Every structure is written in C-alpha cells, then in structure tokens.
Amino acid sequence: MTPDVFRKLALSLPDAVESSHMNHPDFRLGKRVFATLGYPSREWGMVKLTPLQQSQFMAAFPSTFVPVPGKWGLGGSTNVKLRSATARVLRPALFEAWRNVAPRALVAQVAKAAK
C-alpha cells in the first residue's frame, strides 16, 4: 500500500474530500475526519473506527492495524501500517470509518444504490 493508493481509496467514498490537519493530509465527510495519512510518520495512515470495529480489524489483520496511542486509540482511532496493508484489507476499514461519520441519509442512499 502506498500513500497515493490510500488517498485514492479514501477519496472514492461518496462526498469524501481531502483536507489537512496538523501538517498531514486528512479525509473528511463534511467537517468530520474519517481517515488521515502520514502520522505518526509517512509509513502510517489512520482510520477512525469504533472500539468494536478496531478490535475486529486488529484480530483479523494484526500486522496491519494497531490502536493509536492514548485516549484516541481507546476510542477506536486505529493506525494502519501501509507496508502490510492491501486494498482488499484497507477498503472495508475506510468504508467503516466513513460510515461512522456519515449522515444516516447518505449511508441509506449508498446502501440502496449498492443493491
């Protein structure tokens, strides 16, 4: 996984935009961040999951997903080790992070369109 592929996957989600926060790229839906790149270093991304989602992704892919240190990690913020990530593994995590911040109407619209 490269930062460019991470970026492409994040921006493929409905209404997602790239912005910047604390000198690194982030991906938002409206004003709400669902993923970031380049923190704590260029080798990492982050997806904003729930604690349950975090534990599921970490159990399934322990070499790819680790909790962000401190309170953010306890809340579900999850670092993604880009070197070990693949699109097949990252895409569902990005979607869950996007869905966690998306308005219910948009989630319902996306679900309806997928059927």
Report whether pLDDT(110) > 80.
yes
Instruction: Say what the pTM is.
Output: 0.94
Quick one: pLDDT band at residue 107, thresholds 50, 70, 90? confident
| Single-letter amino acid, residue 2 | T
Maximal C-alpha separation, the chain: 39
Task: Give domain limits for the chain.
Answer: 3-114
Mean pLDDT of 98-114: 89
Interval 58-99: pLDDT, tens: 999 999 999 999 999 999 999 999 999 999 999 999 999 999
Candidate CATH numbers 3.90.1150.30, 3.40.50.970, 3.20.20.120, 1.10.287.70; the one for domain 3-114? 3.90.1150.30
> Is residue 66 classed as helix, strand or coil in its secondary structure?
strand
